[in-house]
């Protein structure tokens, strides 16, 4: 895997890329654009409630390459798929994820806030998502605030290993987080599964920081506000891929296409591929 390769070769290669040579780079064709991975952010969130079966099913129908999910843990140890560390924004309940039992979480309405047609949508379990979507669509797994849930890395790894999803030749699985220590741990637990690091901090885009990430990560996934052509080239020179978030306009999608990223993480899969 790329994180196992020598970093120095990539650094040397980046020195060979000159502005002169870039000036003659061909404009991307429509065919080339379709090679960018289309990642449905928490499902097709622009059209359906985030992190619900309704949203993920719609993303599959829209032919997304990946669904992106957020994993946390209930008070009684069940892995659940929800973004915020509380249920307040996306359900009819209140409270912290880690202070509510699975039964309490499962009893909440996670769809009505998006529209009456989604009433009764539940907070899914991690295992439910794996079993429903593996083989149908790639799954980009974000560990959300793993520092709140000691041992969650081992739980996630166990669920993947039980389903033979720890081998990249079987299914498209990527694990990412803003918590870099957690991702180092995941790399140790699942050395064959691609690892991603998330950031919106320009301090993490220095050559030194990128070289450190490349020792254990396969993906560098920044917010689109800090993406530049130079950053994309640096990431590629270290044999990592780059996926950027969160696209909520056609202009943002077009910008990332022009920058040459490998994946676009969007609430609107149709902004990334107009066929959808």
Q: Which residues does the annotation mark as catalytic?
A: 41, 83
CB neighbours (10 Å) of residue 257?
15
CB distance 231 to 2 below 8 Å: no
Looking at the chain, how many residues does it have? 276
Q: Cβ atoms within 10 A of the Cβ of 118, count? A: 17
Mapped onto helix, strand or coil, the DSSP state of residue 25 is: coil
Q: CA torsion 242→246→248→249, rounded to 10°?
A: -30
Give the β-pairing of 79-81 and 66-73: antiparallel
Residue 186 neighbours by CB under 8 Å, 6+ apart: 143, 153, 156, 157, 175, 177, 193, 195
Query: How would you class 63 by CB atoms within 10 Å of its CB: exposed for 0-12, middle for 13-18, buried for 19 or more?
Result: middle
Return d(Cα 112, Cα 161) in angstroms, integer: 35
């Amino acid at each position: 895997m790329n994180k196992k390769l020598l970093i120095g070769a990539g650094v040397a290669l980046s020195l060979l890329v000159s502005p002169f040579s870039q000036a003659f780079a061909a404009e991307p064709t429509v065919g080339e654009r379709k090679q960018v991975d289309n990642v449905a952010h928490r499902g097709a969130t622009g059209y359906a409630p985030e992190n619900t079966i309704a949203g993920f099913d719609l993303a599959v129908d829209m032919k997304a390459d990946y669904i992106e999910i957020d994993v946390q843990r209930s008070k009684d140890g069940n892995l659940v798929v929800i973004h915020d560390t509380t249920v307040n924004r996306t359900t009819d309940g209140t409270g912290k994820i880690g202070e509510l039992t699975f039964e309490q979480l499962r009893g909440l309405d996670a769809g009505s806030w998006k529209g009456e047609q989604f009433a009764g949508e539940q907070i899914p379990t991690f295992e439910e998502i794996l079993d429903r979507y593996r083989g149908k669509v790639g799954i980009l797994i974000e560990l959300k605030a793993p520092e709140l849930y000691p041992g969650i890395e081992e739980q996630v790894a166990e669920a993947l290993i039980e389903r033979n999803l720890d081998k990249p030749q079987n299914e498209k699985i990527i694990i990412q987080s803003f918590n870099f220590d957690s991702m180092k741990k995941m790399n140790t637990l699942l050395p064959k599964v691609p690892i991603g690091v998330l950031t919106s901090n320009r301090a993490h885009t220095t050559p030194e920081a990128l070289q450190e990430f490349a020792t254990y990560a396969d993906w560098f996934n920044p917010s689109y506000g800090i993406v530049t052509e130079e950053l994309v080239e640096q990431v590629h020179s270290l044999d990592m891929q780059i996926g950027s978030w969160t696209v909520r306009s056609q202009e943002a999608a077009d910008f990332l296409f022009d920058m040459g990223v490998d994946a676009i993480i969007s609430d609107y899969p149709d902004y990334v591929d107009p066929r959808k």
